[in-house]
């Protein structure tokens, strides 16, 4: 499981207005509908933990919110980043030691249809079994 899939599961649970495959996507942002949230696995590295059957997996997931309404895009991106701040737990069998924001949401720009893009990112630490 990628971290973006775990983040997707958290967002679906926390934001009833988001439905995976309808207005929430991973890795590829469709042209429609006009208002969407897209998650991207940016980077990750794994290192074994000393005297442990687990490895530590760290990485970043970018969250990009697109909307025809500038303020709505900014608010949703801010709400998503806030919901993901300093959480931990097990998602789809993987234990996340910590998920936290990397930065505050910011305007990325506008697409060819003048829809606002806001972006933010969260980092994560996940324990991965070595066996």
Q: What is the pLDDT of residue 126?
A: 86
Distance CA 17, CA 76 (A): 11
Q: What share of the chain is helix, strand, coil (3-state, %, to 5)?
A: 20, 50, 30
Its sign, for the CA torsion 118, 65, 100, 58, is negative
**Can you list the alpha helix ranges (DSSP code H) found in the chain?**
3-14, 70-83
Q: What architecture does CATH give domain 3-129?
A: 2-Layer Sandwich (3.30)
Q: What is the pLDDT of residue 54?
A: 67
**pLDDT per position in the chain (131 positions), as tens?**
688 999 999 999 999 999 999 999 999 999 999 999 999 998 766 665 555 666 778 889 999 999 999 999 999 999 999 999 999 998 877 889 899 999 899 999 999 999 999 999 999 988 876 66
Q: What is the pLDDT of residue 103?
A: 87
Strand pairing of 116-129 and 54-67?
antiparallel
CA 84 to chain CA mean position, Å: 8
Distance CA 8, CA 39 (A): 8
């Amino acid at each position: 499981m990628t971290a973006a899939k775990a983040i997707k599961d958290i967002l679906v649970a926390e934001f009833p207005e988001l439905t995976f495959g309808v207005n929430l996507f991973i890795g590829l942002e469709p042209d429609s509908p006009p208002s969407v949230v897209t998650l991207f696995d940016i980077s990750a590295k794994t290192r074994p933990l000393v005297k442990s059957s687990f490895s530590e997996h760290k990485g970043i997931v970018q969250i990009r919110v697109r909307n025809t309404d500038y303020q709505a895009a900014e608010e949703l991106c801010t709400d998503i980043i806030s919901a993901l701040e300093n959480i931990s737990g097990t998602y789809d069998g993987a234990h996340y030691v910590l998920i936290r924001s990397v930065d505050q949401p910011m305007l990325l720009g506008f697409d060819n249809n003048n829809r606002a893009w806001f972006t933010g990112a969260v980092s994560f630490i996940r324990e991965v079994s070595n066996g």
